[in-house]
Amino acid sequence: MADERENPDFVRALWTAVLARAVEDYRYKGRIKESKAYRKDAKKWIEGTDYKGVGSFAYVCEAIDLDPDAVRDNLKNRMPDNE
């Protein structure tokens, strides 16, 4: 049996899940301290400028055939001005 990590569908599903979780954390508006920390981390990751590293926002978007700048802009445009 082949290693799951070499299966393109598995890899795509993994990076999709990573991005989905980051978006959920980024959009969090509640008061739970731990979740606010996750939001801060997600914001740093999404708005960061690391375009080279495996696991960077740009890398993840490109791995699932999304334009990182378009995704980033879409997320920023959907956030209230005070966020």
User: Distances from the Cα of 41 to the Cαs of 3, 13, 25, 26, in angstroms?
Assistant: 31, 22, 8, 8
DSSP-derived 3-state class of residue 18: helix
SS3 (DSSP) at 24: helix
What pLDDT shows up at residue 20?
97
Tell me the pLDDT tens digit for each residue of 18-62: 999 999 999 998 889 988 999 999 999 999 887 778 999 999 999
pLDDT interval class at 16 (50, 70, 90): very high
pLDDT of residue 81: 54
53's enclosing H/E stretch is none
Dist CA 38 CA 44 (whole Å) = 10
